[in-house]
Amino acid sequence: MENVLITGSSSGFGYMSAVSLARKGYKVWASMRQPNGKNASKQQELQQLAEAEGLQISVIEMDVTQDESVAHAVKHIIETDGRIDNLVNNAGVMYVGITEAYSIDQAKSQFETNFFGILRTVKAVTPHMRKAGKGFILNITSLAGRLTFPYFGIYCASKHAVEAYSQALRYELAPFGVEVSIIEPGPFDTGLLYSGPAEADQQVFEAYGEHREVPKAVLKNFEGFYESADALDPQIVADDIVRMIETQKGQRNARIVSGIDYGTVQYNTLVEPIQEALVRDALQMGHLLEVSQN
């Protein structure tokens, strides 16, 4: 039985994919912050579901913004299972507002979860995967990792960073038999939209005059979409996570779009051959395009 470590399992894609993967026969380590505190009800839900359906779900505490928390959780999993077969980096927060009016500390906080949180889990897990000669890392980014939405500037920057980091990892870990892929979800109602704080720099915020209200209108627009018949079930993303994990080694796409794409599929289709030509032809590193089967 393969195992899967999922970050941000208290809600949204993380919660849904934990349940979906467990139902597919995987042993799931559903990590979250404060499972005995603010997320106690979520821990209880997962445990009750696991008991009722005979699923292998273990809730484990992990705060991706804290080095010790990540290291402790990964150490426990290795001591228990001896390995980590799959890592799903799902934890994230979203800041929506006047980009200039977010403080430096707020920008750092956004990156602490969305970008550095992934660095922490990857650095904790990859030594074990490289030693085993196999493993799969799946990073959940967003359409905002390829496109840029006004008033989502800090969020988009963090997701663009994850895209670049993941692409480099995909090449560099391939010779060790470890694969890295990305899922780019479109708009889904998972509660992420209001997960970030208001802008801290009030002087800049006030300087925007009537434009201060635009981010609120953007949020209302998304709310209306989520309530419309065109809105999609977030389970679509969980199903794509399952599908990517179950895809045969060496056959996984570098990235897939999940849900409404706003042209991102076309973007990826156009960029991929340019990216591969850079590595294969300009850099003469074609061996990094194929994952080792050893």
Residues catalogued as catalytic: 155
Helix (H, G, I), strand (E, B) or coil at 59: strand
d(CA 53, CA 28): 14
Quick one: three-class SS letters along 217-240?
HHHHHHHHHHCCCCCCCCHHHHHH
- Sequence letter at residue 232: L
d(CA 49, CA 52): 5
d(CA 164, CA 157): 11
Give, for 155, the enclosing helix (H) or strand (E).
helix 153-173
Across 115-151, b (16+ Cβ under 10 Å) vs e yields bbbbbbbbebbbebbeeeebbbbbbbbbbbbbbeeeb
φ, ψ dihedrals at 5, nearest 5°: -105, 125
CA distances from 243 to 8, 41, 238, 247 (A): 19, 28, 9, 6
- Write out the DSSP string of 12-41: HHHHHHHHHHHHTT-EEEEEES-TTTTTHH
- Sequence letter at residue 68: E
